[in-house]
Structure 1
Amino acid sequence: MKRRTAREKALQALFQIDMSQSQPMEAIENVLEDQPHDEYLTHLVTGVVLHKQQIDEMIKGSLEKWTIERLAIVDRNLMRIAVFELLFCKESVPANVVLDEAIEIAKLFGDDQSSRFVNGVLSKIKEQINSL
């Protein structure tokens, strides 16, 4: 499975987890729809779930006039995936690729403003991580 597809499937699995409190592996099985298991997909979903508090704090710190609870579920989970990759996949995925992928997926799954909003928030987070 290509990494773009793994990110899209991870977004769908995290959406399920948010909406129905599914367990991560159950959500992954649901989105795979009898496709072969993918290691990167599992890494993204379980990583976001495991580090959700830390990831959400970074997102909250980069929001202006918004709370994380008010974000669209798609935008929130897409940013969670991207922040996880920025923090924990630095060696295998360049930061600019993470942002580009998140923006492109936001165009597919979000509303008309999602890609610009996601780009703005993730750009702040990327700068914050780079300054650490």
Structure 2
Amino acid sequence: MTDTIEQAESPLATPADMLSAFTRAAPDLAKMSLVGPHLQATVLKAVIGQQRETIDFLARRFDEELKFADAMSRANSAGDLYAACAGFYARAAAQYVDEARKIAELTSRNAVSAVQMPQPAAAA
């Protein structure tokens, strides 16, 4: 039985065969080595983009809150105060809905971008 196992031919029987197999696989290995950095860069850009969008949204909301404070200070009656509150909350709800839609779209684009492999540069 041992003779049968020892006599079996290995597909990479010689060092030259092994080198040849490695050389053929090297371009694929080079492509695979780019997957990690590509994914990390894509995720970093996505996170920074979402943070930027969140900060922009918060800045707009702070502006709305300052306008609301001004409207409350100018109120001459309970009706004026109610109108200021109702308007503020209605705008806030609409802005939060719009922002949730933007974040969902941004997240979707980022997910698609993360799974796409970088295309090799065209030969000149």
Is the TM-score greater than 0.5?
no
Query: Relative to total residues, which structure has the larger helix share, 1 or 2?
Result: 2
Considering Cα pairs closer than 8 Å and 6+ residues apart, tell me whether 1 or 2 has the greater RCO: 2
Return the index of the structure with the highest Cα Rg: 2
